[in-house]
Chains A and B, each alone.
Chain A
Amino acid sequence: MPKRLDLKKILIIGSGPIVIGQACEFDYSGTQACKALKEEGYEVVLVNSNPATIMTDPEVADRTYVEPITPEVVIKILEKERPDAILPTLGGQTGLNTAVAVADTGILDELGIEMIGASPEVIHKAEDREKFRAAMENIGLRIPRSAIVRSVEEAVAAVKDIGFPIIVRPSFTLGGSGGGIAYNMDELKSICQQGLDLSMIHEVMLEESVIGWKEFELEVMRDAKDNVVIICSIENVDPMGVHTGDSITVAPAQTLSDKEYQYLRDASLAIIREIGVETGGSNIQFAVNPENGDVVVIEMNPRVSRSSALASKATGFPIAKIAAKLAIGYTLDEIPNDITRETMASFEPTIDYCVVKIPRWTFEKFQEAQDLLTTSMKSVGETMAIGRTFRESLQKGLRSLEIGRFGLGFDGKDPWDKGIIPDMDEIESKLRVPNSKRIFYIPYALERGMSIKEVSKITGIDPWFIFQIDKIRQKGNKVRQKGKEALDDLFQIKREGFSDRQIAYLTDMTEEEIRDLRFEKNIKPVYKLVDTCAAEFEAYTPYYYSSYESESESRRSNRKKVMILGGGPNRIGQGIEFDYCCVHASFALREEGIESIMVNSNPETVSTDYDTSDKLYFEPLTLEDVLHIVDTEQPDGVIVQFGGQTPLNLAVPLKKAGVKIIGTSPESIDMAEDRESFQKMLKKLGLKQPANDTAFTLEEALKIASKIGYPIVVRPSYVLGGRAMRIVHDEEGLRQFMEEAVEVSEGHPVLIDKYLQDAIEIDVDAISDGKLTIIGGIMEHVEEAGIHSGDSACVLPPHRIGKDMIEQIKDATRKMAKELHVIGLMNVQYAVKDDELYVLEVNPRASRTVPFVSKATGIPLAKLATKVMIGKSLEELGLTQDPEVTHVSVKESVFPFRKFPGVDIILGPEMKSTGEVMGIDQSVGMAFAKSQFAVGLELPTSGTAFLSIKKGDKESLLETARTLEKEGFKIIATSGTAEFLLNHGVDCQKVLKVSEGRPNIIDMMKNGQIDLVINTPSGKKRTLTDAYRLRRTAMELNIPYFTTVAGAKAAVEAIVALKKEDMDVKPLQEYY
């Protein structure tokens, strides 16, 4: 069927901010879809609140609404744009849920808008557990025994039939959040309550536990003519019980014979047909009993997903792009396969390598969180590795994770390398209870003599994977035993996926020596293609992975070429923003006619889409792997300043190895990082910084602290995202910090700064060509200095500091750019206190805020910076003036607290947010209001506000309380705050704290009597306090809450704005 001509304009709903369970894979999918539809001549309207996405670049869609993804806003957009159709299947669960909510209002029928891809009925059938159950029974498939309950009481009754352990799964949530496994009645009640609260429809499914069963996923596609194909099968190494997003997974399935695989394939075909997904892709999950092959269907997602992104990268088959084309009426046999060109999309990819995906967790960011993996996803990113064997891929994947490991052990980081041999009890418990380190404990167990069968039994991991891990262990031991003699067999060692770092450690040599030896013996990896067809057809898309084989398929061209090093797996502090910059670098190179070569290991990203760059190397970002690619490609330059800390850490070693780094020199980057030279520079330029010093030892630190005076900000140098950064108020805190810091930043000093209380923090992104420096954007943080800049909300342009100060900031920025010889991007953080400007930090590289500034101003900073780096001047590029904007953009952060029970939600100098949204409007109040809606908080315009404010903040918030009163809010407060307010003429009612008896504030919150919470924390020991429970409850009940003075003020300003005017929507294309 040719494409539909009755459709002209199509709305795509994005997935919003990056959260756990919904990350940049939906930017990858959405960008593909927008491009595909535009290519076909459709007018594409997009809504997505996430400014760090490629899809919200003004040239990707025709009309780009960076607005909150709520049903109300989407309806406004529909009324304004009158599209012919909505495509809801590309924006993750957010896109799907929002589309369904919109459809349920009846507006689509009213406006004559069609939902393409999946209809509301289909989505309900797939998502509503009861309907799904019935559908599965219809086609003779079994799903685990289960019951739908809408209250804890019903759950208690239902468990009698189902039995413990029992899985609790809330309907309609993100990434299975709120779910869990209950082993007893108490747990059932508490998990159930949480699930009910989280479910959009207040519904929870209880399910027979199939914990320990093998878990498989199939990616299915269907077209309008009912042709169905399977794109990829994925086997979870971790069995049922661990969320698939937290499982190490392998593609294709390894332990199924054809009969069993075909059974799952048949079932998948039947499911997509029975559910009735008209066109597009679906992800179907199965559990298989390892004892007898019994199969149960776990779930089906009638949309593109994290797994479909992984499947696309694992096979080379662009699921989202094809899904978009199917949605507009094409059939699979009408869409060409880009990779082979001569064949069509109506086939099933076959692969001739082994793909391993490993999740990246950040438990270290949340002290109180337990490192436990359950059915609720906790990882924030992932890495994918491709190799010719499982062992090669696993080891590549582990070294791609950037957790300081260089493979599966044998890298000097195993406990016994430090003389510690874990005892059997510890090993057993680490194996039994899934956790982020489990994979490393498997070799420990084997080393201690546990049998493969026993390891498999305890972990539930299929013996096949344990066999493979054991082979790695045996090989490593052999090399260790033989020492340098083992190097005669170097090729075979490399074939097992061992990195030079591991081999060097085992043979007591240096990484460089091993590399030299290999190059001498000509033991280098070859590059093979990912081509969807196992070489049956010629491939035209240069998408490579390395392996130790006989024949390389990489062909170096004669064109001028630049290599871009990506950011690796997403983590808190290094996420989509950096990938955005890398993608822009690639686009810029293409525009300049230079061949772009992307290196990255993150399957979720746009940067690893095979058509983003001229060449894609899906490889770990370690020195060894990058040098191999350099050796093959001989690029004219390498860009390290866009991918975040990962490539920056490689800058100096790469340069040492003779690689040409373009843009700001590694020395300049180093100079900005190095305290002493940085201080010298500031002195020279007449700029101030807060009193500070560096310490290597506790004694030094204590001395410095007493000199500077508490409070102080302490942090290890050379880390991103404020890892382990803290505000310390006294000696005890400092002692505690120093203990941990030494581990985080080996060999680098600890930095100590005077903490500037109540200062306004400013972020500046600038671009320089070495002569001219343009200030791309000045952002004023909403929260005070001391809250990590990645967590703080910020406003562009600033509105609390004066014109003179802005000039002073611009001037300081220009001076520093010149002094550091910046070629490319630079980010500066300032603090303004008592009309004095302090420089906090300078980073001569891309920052997290580059995409936000670009969206706010319309200036593509990263793209321009790339062109500057390859020799263009800003004048040539037409950027000679600092951009000025009349509208206001607010960036707000989103946090994963909900995923980590027991963690306090207050902010500090260590970054905790996973993503961001942008609110854009004419006034600060409205822009801030939009940003709050976009993060999922519904600011009330009436009702009851609860205030509990610490001593020092009471004065500052008095005006805010008055405003709330004036706007008709009823105010209630805890005793101290209430007294203060009453004394100052604000009418309010006193309420009990938890420790004061009942009914207390938490009861009121649970009863829905509170609409807004303002609580500034006192900084005391956190989790035990009343305040902690209060904040946690507010978050769990999704009551808007603010924990800083500035945040509360901004929120109330936003409420005023909302009461004054209607929220209006406007596409980016109309802002500039």
Chain B
Amino acid sequence: MKALIALEDGRIFEGRSFTGPGEVSGELVFNTSMTGYQEILTDPSYKGQIVTMTYPLIGNYGVTPEDEESLGIHLSAFVVREYEEDYSNWRATGDLGSYLKRHGILGIEQVDTRAITRHIRLAGAMKAVISTEDLDEVSLVKKAKDSPGLVDADLATLVTCKRPYVWERGKILELDDVSPDRLSRLESAEQASFRIAIIDCGLKFNQLRLFAKRGCQCVVFPATVQAEQLLACEPSGIFLSNGPGDPAAVHHVIETVKELVGKRPIFGICLGHQILSLALGAKTYKLKFGHRGGNQPVKDLSTGKIEITAQNHGFAVDEASLPSGVEVTHINLNDNTVEGISHRDIPAFSVQYHPENAPGPHDSEYLFDRFVKLMS
């Protein structure tokens, strides 16, 4: 089934749908990871985006529930050069196309994805519409222009959990009562030395898995949580998760974090990093086309070591806006943008990239240890 991708600047790309008919809008971005499509699909940070994979063959190893990073697919549509219906892997339980269909997500193939990537690199990430129904280019471009876009959109609230939950035996256990008493009677408390209160702006399960592995009980709250609610569970530390969209638009979380700073050690990832920075008084800005992939080099300025990181962000913290007391701890070696900050006096630090990987290299898992140490 023929599909057109229309960009707000008038550029059109052609492809065909491998998941049936549909029409959807979103911000068109590209991801350079060669593996990990299922983790990307289920990463809530892609809410509102149409993701193009630069690697041309997608679907090779099928899908498996084990590789889900959240309960659903959050991106708007998925664009590839060639969809591989015939998969092969001992863990696979099904093919990618059916998986997308089941989640009602449009998948487009036979697209010159390299041409898309080059266009975005030069013109910047932009709004786009994909349709198999309306094949009129003019109409589609107009639709793209009229679509809402990401700037000033609070998307975190759309993808956050509805109710608090605890990560129990590798699964979600929803709880109404998150009192310390209740929490300490759970199995997850038995092996745990720490309790972490998590503000879920669109978190990835691997963050919970990595905390749990390090003896932390994870208590996850919706993004709308109030500071005192969160502190009421008597956490040893607070974690600000990743999430989609414009950080500046998530005012309520920024306000909550302002209240929390200094009360408990804080660790933020991606959107969580931007929110912490904003709460500390810094500013964020939109990058031309962002960083999305599993090969981004980051330098830890304290050790001089380079880590290859997984990244997925379209906004960044403006270094010049950092208040005194806050220092840059990590930088991106490709474009020298801020990749991590830390407060000198208050136990709070964050990174722009994804140390929980999934997908991506495991080089940065040490940050989870660093946080555990900070709580000790």
Contact = CB atoms under 8 A, between A and B. Distances in A.
B38, B61, B333, B359: residue with the most chain A Cβ atoms closer than 10 Å: B61
5 contacts: A256-B35, A258-B35, A333-B333, A467-B88, A536-B293
Nearest to A495: B110
Given A350-B295, A534-B55, 8 more contacts: A252-B55, A258-B359, A292-B90, A333-B299, A348-B294, A349-B295, A464-B86, A550-B14
Given A254-B57, A354-B56, A535-B118, A347 B88 contact: no
Interface stretch (A91-99, A259-267, A271-279): A259-267
Given A333-B333, A350-B33, A350-B293, A535 B306 contact: no
A226 B305 contact: yes
A535 B88 contact: no
Contacts of B358: 258-259
B117 A262 contact: no
A259 B67 contact: yes
Contacts of A587: none
A251 to B, nearest CB: 10
Contact of A535 (B64, B84, B114, B361): B114
A352 B38 contact: no
Contacts of A229: 306, 308
Given A347-B333, A389-B82, A535-B121, A225 B305 contact: yes
A255 interface: yes
B339 interface: no
Given A346-B306, A463-B86, A536-B293, A257 B91 contact: yes
Interface string A191-231: 00000000000000000000000000000000001110110
Contacts of B293: 350, 534, 536
Given A343-B333, A352-B117, A550-B14, A290 B90 contact: yes
A347 B295 CA distance: 6
A488 B299 CA distance: 54
B113 interface: yes
Contacts of A292: 90
Interface string B334-375: 100000000000000000000001111110000000000000
A347 B121 contact: no
A257 B88 CA distance: 10
Interface string A832-867: 000000000000000000000000000000000000
Contact of B32 (A227, A259, A265, A350): A350
B56 A388 contact: yes
Q: Which of A226, A256, A354, A535 has the most CB of B within 10 A?
A: A535
Contacts of B297: 333, 344, 346-347
Given A227-B305, A350-B293, A351-B55, A464 B114 contact: no
Interface in B34-67: 34-36, 38-39, 54-57, 60-61, 64, 66-67
A597 B296 CA distance: 33
A162 to B, nearest CB: 25
A193 to B, nearest CB: 39
Interface residues of B, number: 53
Nearest to A549: B112
Contacts of B38: 257
Contact of B56 (A259, A352, A462): A352
A537 interface: yes
B38 to A, nearest CB: 7
A226 B14 CA distance: 45
B358 to A, nearest CB: 7
B325 interface: no
Given A350-B32, A534-B117, A535-B54, A257 B361 contact: no
Contact of B360 (A254, A262, A550): A262
Nearest to A456: B88
A356 to B, nearest CB: 12
B99 interface: no
Contacts of B30: 536
A551 B61 contact: no
Contacts of A553: 118
Nearest to B61: A257
A388 B361 CA distance: 25
A533 B114 contact: no
B368 to A, nearest CB: 15
A254 B60 contact: yes
A261 B34 CA distance: 10
B81 interface: yes
Contacts of B32: 350, 352, 533-534, 536
Contacts of A467: 84, 86, 88
Interface string A379-415: 0000000001110000000000000000000000000
B71 interface: no
Contacts of A353: 56
A388 B362 contact: no
Contacts of B191: none
A528 interface: yes
Contact of B35 (A257, A293, A331): A257
A532 to B, nearest CB: 9
Interface in B105-134: 112-115, 117-118, 121
Interface in B275-312: 293-297, 299, 304-306, 308
Nearest to A534: B54
A467 B57 CA distance: 13
A377 interface: no
B334 A389 contact: no
A262 B305 contact: no
A456 to B, nearest CB: 8
A259 B358 CA distance: 7
A291 B91 CA distance: 9
**Top 5 A-B pairs ranked by shortest CB distance?**
A258-B36, A258-B359, A534-B54, A467-B86, A551-B115
Nearest to B111: A550
A347 B308 contact: yes
B321 interface: no
Most B Cβ at <10 Å: residue of A226, A266, A528, A551:
A551
Nearest to B82: A389
B333 A346 contact: yes
Given A258-B67, A344-B297, A535-B54, A352 B306 contact: no
B316 to A, nearest CB: 16
A538 interface: yes
B179 interface: no
B118 A551 contact: yes
Given A257-B67, A333-B306, A536-B117, A252 B34 contact: yes
